Structure 1
Amino acid sequence: MSPEMVNYIGYAASVFIVLSFILKDLTKIRIVNLIGCICFVTYGFLNGMLWPVIIPNAIICFVQVYHLVTAKKK
């Protein structure tokens, strides 16, 4: 993948994360934040295994999925 496309994935991740702070509905916040975190994990892998980017965002992905799944059960 071209370096330019990898940068666009990073920019998209940033947009999704910022957007998640603007929303008010908790489910929407979690979904948008999850998309941003997935983009950041992808960016980290494609940009030379940036572990400081990959690890926290991967953990946040699991946290968001956990909360989304448990909220659906309630």
Structure 2
Amino acid sequence: MTPEFANYIGYAASLFIVLSFALRNLRKIRIVNLIGCACFVVYGIYSGMLWPVIIPNGLLCFVQVYHLITGKNGK
């Protein structure tokens, strides 16, 4: 993957994270945030193993998946 394409993934990740703050439905928030966090993990890997980006976003992916699977969406 080229560094330029990795940057595009980083921009997409930022867009998804910001978009998740604009939503009202908690399930949609979790899904959009999950996509953003997953994009940040990919960005961190392909930008030279940026562990401060990979670790928290990877953990947040698991948190979002857990809540989506268990249905604990804070309703």
Q: Shorter-normalised TM-score: what interval?
A: over 0.9
CA distance in 2, matches of 1:3, 1:58: 21
Aligned position for 2:5:
5
Equivalent AA in structure 2 for residue 12 of structure 1: A
TM-score w.r.t. the length of structure 2 is 0.94
Taking only aligned residues, the RMSD between alpha carbons, in angstroms, comes to 0.9
Aligned position for 1:65:
65
- Provide the identity percentage: 75
Name the SS of the counterpart of 1:28 in structure 2: helix
Equivalent AA in structure 1 for residue 69 of structure 2: V
**Structure 2 residues not aligned, in runs of 5+:** none
**Structure 1 residues not aligned, in runs of 5+:** none
Q: Deviations over 1:14-73 (max 9, x none)?
A: 00000000000000000000000000000000000000000000000000000000008x
Equivalent AA in structure 1 for residue 57 of structure 2: N
TM-score w.r.t. the length of structure 1 is 0.95
Query: Which structure has more helix as a fraction of its residues?
Result: 1
Count residues in correspondence. 72
Name the SS of the counterpart of 2:4 in structure 1: helix
Give, in angstroms, the shift of residue 3 of structure 1: 1.0
